[in-house]
């Protein structure tokens, strides 16, 4: 008996990307549209919440329409509408959530609430299903979600109920989180200190190629290790990235790199926009930093600093995740979220997992950063289970998971 196609419309607006996607049976992306707001926030070096919600309001209707058009389906053809409920910026979340609720009500379709980080976990599984249809990653998995807003480790188990043995039902146990800044936030703040533009991750990723990662002696000690469990609620695997950001700032001041940063800032002011609508399968300009120009404006000293910062952060993410994987006896490691697009992070995870005999999986770049395909995919098992939200659903900026 052939399976009836269940097409879920996913909507994501938790931070600075307005995204909509249609995913069939939780495993086939029919469309995925992302409108980024980099240009709007670039001059502030970070997301400005009020501007983000205003831009979501402008983008939400055309982005959803575009997702349906690309999927070649009409509004009535969707089986359900999935929205990100949280965590995130409340004003941003409310735009996608309210629009999704209205659409579900007007169309008479079920509404499904999705946790943003659950979406990032499903991005890895979805990627694997795109590449190897029918294959299923072996669980349990130690899962690192590392982005601009989050750095969290989850122990993820697959627990499909009877009758749905193949479906991606997961349970989540939080193992560790950041005590202060998220790793992506550290990338963005270091890029702001050095006037390398926003978001900082993609540009630091590319510029690091030209620097010596061992030149500036940031040891992992700059990233404080939390004390072992002592009743304070901290985990020995917790992360901390505010120390390294401060160490970079201090280094810039004590080594006379401020004037050079100021010059880059001056030269970048008024630079034309580079983004912004990203569509699956097409190269986007978003996240493609002006590397050659920035490289020409950077001394070798700055390039070495950037590469050393990146190596320190990447080593810490990899080692802490893999130590936790061994401690919890998981043979599988999943890495997701915007920072998972980082090339050194991927190479380091791959190399270290090979040595330790673990399997590691990442989403493609499009599925690593915020998108709505991951929200629609995460909603599919909830659809099968009949876990629907009602019209009272509200956004929750600090929604817990596990
Ligand atoms: O998942 P995401 O799109 O949004 C959040 O939920 O935060 O992640 C965005 C974050 C930003 O901090 C950005 O600088 C970082 O991901 N990022 C990267 C790379 N691409 C994006 N960080 C390091 N290397 C990259 N290639
Ligand atoms: Zn995210």
Q: How far is the CA of 182 from the centre of ligand 1 (A)?
A: 10
Closest CA to 122 of 4, 6, 12, 284: 12
pLDDT at residue number 152: 97
Rounded CA Rg of the chain: 21
**If you take atom 7 of ligand 1, which residue's CA is the nearest one?**
148
CA distance 92 to 95: 6
The response to whether residue 338 sits with its C-beta less than 6 Å from ligand 1 reads yes
CA distance 237 to 319: 10
Strand order in the sheet with 151-158: 170-177, 151-158, 141-146, 332-336, 359-361
Element holding 33 (H helix, E strand):
strand 28-36
The response to whether residue 370 sits with its C-beta less than 6 Å from ligand 1 reads yes
The fraction of the chain above a pLDDT of 90, given in percent, is 78
Q: How far is the CA of 135 from the centre of ligand 2 (A)?
A: 25
pLDDT at residue number 273: 42
CA distance 252 to 260: 10
Q: Which residues contact 336 (CB under 8 A, 6 or more apart)?
A: 120, 121, 123, 124, 143, 144, 145, 146, 362, 363, 368
Structure tokens at 300: 């070798």
CA distance 214 to 360: 26
> What is the mean predicted confidence (pLDDT) over 291-314?
96
Element holding 86 (H helix, E strand):
strand 80-86
Contact assessment for residue 83 and residue 28, using Cβ atoms and an 8 Å cutoff = no
How many degrees, rounded to 5, is the angle at CA 143 between CA 140 and CA 148?
165
Of 289 and 286, which is predicted with more confidence?
A: 289
Q: What DSSP designation does 177 have?
A: E
> What is the mean predicted confidence (pLDDT) over 293-321?
97
Chain mean pLDDT for the chain:
90
> What is the mean predicted confidence (pLDDT) over 259-285?
63
Whether the pLDDT of residue 287 is over 50: the answer is no
Closest CA to 355 of 335, 381, 326, 383: 326
The response to whether residue 317 sits with its C-beta less than 6 Å from ligand 1 reads no
For the ranges 9-23, 73-87, 143-157, 215-229, the lowest mean pLDDT is seen at: 215-229
Q: How far is the CA of 69 from the centre of ligand 1 (A)?
A: 28
Closest CA to 60 of 89, 31, 33, 27: 33
230 band by pLDDT with thresholds 50, 70 and 90: low
Beta bridge partners of 10: 21, 82
Name the 3-class secondary structure at 22.
strand
Q: For residue 339, give the ligand nearest its CA.
A: 1
Structure tokens at 214: 């061992």
pLDDT at residue number 226: 53
* Alpha carbons within 13 A on the beta-carbon side of 67: 31
Q: How far is the CA of 162 from the centre of ligand 1 (A)?
A: 37
Q: How far is the CA of 187 from the centre of ligand 1 (A)?
A: 8
pLDDT at residue number 277: 44
Whether the pLDDT of residue 281 is over 80: the answer is no
Beta bridge partners of 7: 24
Max Cα–Cα distance, the chain, nearest Å: 70
80 band by pLDDT with thresholds 50, 70 and 90: very high
Q: For residue 344, give the ligand nearest its CA.
A: 1
**If you take atom 10 of ligand 1, which residue's CA is the nearest one?**
148
Q: Give the dihedral of Cα atoms 258, 259, 264, 270; nearest 10 deg.
A: 110
58 band by pLDDT with thresholds 50, 70 and 90: very high
136 band by pLDDT with thresholds 50, 70 and 90: confident
Beta bridge partners of 22: 9, 31
> What is the mean predicted confidence (pLDDT) over 25-46?
87
Strands (DSSP E) contained in 217-279 are 277-279
For the ranges 32-36, 136-140, 271-275, 383-387, the lowest mean pLDDT is seen at: 271-275
| Helices and strands of the chain, counted as H and E runs | 13, 11
């Amino acid at each position: 008996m052939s399976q009836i196609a269940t097409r879920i419309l996913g909507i994501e607006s938790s931070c600075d990307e307005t995204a909509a996607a249609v995913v069939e049976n939780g495993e086939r992306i029919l469309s995925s549209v992302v409108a980024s707001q980099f240009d709007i926030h670039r001059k502030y070096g970070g997301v400005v919440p009020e501007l983000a919600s205003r831009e979501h309001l402008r983008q939400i209707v055309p982005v959803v329409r575009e997702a349906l058009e690309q999927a070649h389906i009409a509004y009535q053809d969707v089986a359900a509408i999935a929205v990100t409920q949280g965590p995130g910026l409340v004003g941003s979340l409310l735009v996608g959530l309210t629009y999704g609720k209205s659409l579900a009500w007007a169309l008479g379709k079920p509404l499904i609430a999705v946790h943003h980080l659950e979406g990032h976990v499903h991005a890895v599984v979805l990627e694997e299903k795109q590449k190897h249809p029918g294959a299923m990653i072996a669980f349990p998995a130690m899962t690192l979600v590392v982005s601009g807003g989050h750095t969290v480790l989850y122990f993820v188990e697959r627990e499909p109920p009877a009758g749905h043995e193949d479906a991606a039902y997961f349970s989540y146990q939080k193992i560790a989180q950041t005590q202060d800044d998220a790793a992506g936030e550290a990338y963005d703040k270091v890029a702001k200190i050095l006037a390398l533009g926003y978001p900082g991750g993609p540009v630091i990723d590319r510029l690091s190629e030209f620097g010596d990662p061992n030149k500036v002696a940031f040891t992992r000690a700059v990233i404080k290790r939390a004390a072992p469990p002592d009743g304070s609620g901290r985990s020995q695997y917790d992360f901390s990235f505010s120390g390294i950001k401060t160490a970079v700032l201090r280094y810039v001041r004590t080594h006379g790199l401020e004037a050079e940063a100021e010059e880059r800032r001056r030269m970048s002011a008024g630079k034309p926009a580079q983004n912004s609508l990203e569509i699956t399968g097409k190269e986007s300009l978003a996240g493609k930093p002006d590397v050659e120009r920035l490289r020409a404006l950077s001394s070798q000293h700055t390039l070495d600093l950037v590469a050393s910062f990146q190596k320190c952060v990447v080593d810490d993410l990899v080692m802490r995740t893999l130590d936790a994987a061994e401690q919890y006896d998981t043979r599988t490691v999943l890495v997701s979220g915007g920072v998972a697009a980082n090339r050194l992070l991927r190479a380091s995870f791959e190399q270290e997992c090979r040595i330790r005999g673990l399997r590691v999986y990442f989403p493609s770049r499009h599925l690593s950063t915020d998108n709505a395909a991951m929200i629609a995919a995460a909603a599919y098992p909830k659809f099968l289970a009949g876990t629907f939200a009602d019209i009272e659903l509200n956004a929750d900026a600090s929604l817990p998971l596990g």
